[in-house]
């Protein structure tokens, strides 16, 4: 039961951060989510920005620019895993607290 609760919390934490990344791409990129992910090319000279909380990739613009930060990618992954781990522990303790109360 403990492993199942932790796995569920961990996956929920990763899902929340994945959705936060998609929202950040949509808000920071010219042309929205699909333009930011490179699925459409409707905005001429648009800038694509990917990454939350740190910007991993910035690409495009009138004078084309491509900036990729592997350190930001590593920090984003570490933050995502740490937050998901915390969510897994929190859900485990919540479920254990309810099981002990019954």
Dump pLDDT digits (tens) for 53-99: 899 999 988 888 999 999 999 999 999 999 999 999 999 888 877 66
pLDDT for the residue 99: 60
15, 83, 44, 46: which is closest to 36 by C-alpha?
46
What's the pTM value of the predicted model, to 2 decimals?
Answer: 0.80
Rounded to a whole number, what is the distance in angstroms from the first to the last CA of the chain?
15
Q: Is it the case that residue 1 has pLDDT exceeding 60?
A: no
**For residue 100, what pLDDT is reported?**
63
For residue 102, pLDDT beyond 50 = no
Check: CB of residue 89 under 8 Å from CB of residue 6: yes
Q: Are 48 and 29 in contact (CB under 8 A)?
A: yes
């Amino acid at each position: 039961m403990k492993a199942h609760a932790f796995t569920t919390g961990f996956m929920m934490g990763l899902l929340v951060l994945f959705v936060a990344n998609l929202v950040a791409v949509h808000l920071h990129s010219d042309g929205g989510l699909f333009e930011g992910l490179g699925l459409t090319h409707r905005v001429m000279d648009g800038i694509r920005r990917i990454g939350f909380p740190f910007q991993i990739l910035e690409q495009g613009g009138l004078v084309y620019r491509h900036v990729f930060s592997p350190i930001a990618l590593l920090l984003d992954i570490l933050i995502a895993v740490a937050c998901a781990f915390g969510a897994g522990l929190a859900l485990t303790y919540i479920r254990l607290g309810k099981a002990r109360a019954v």
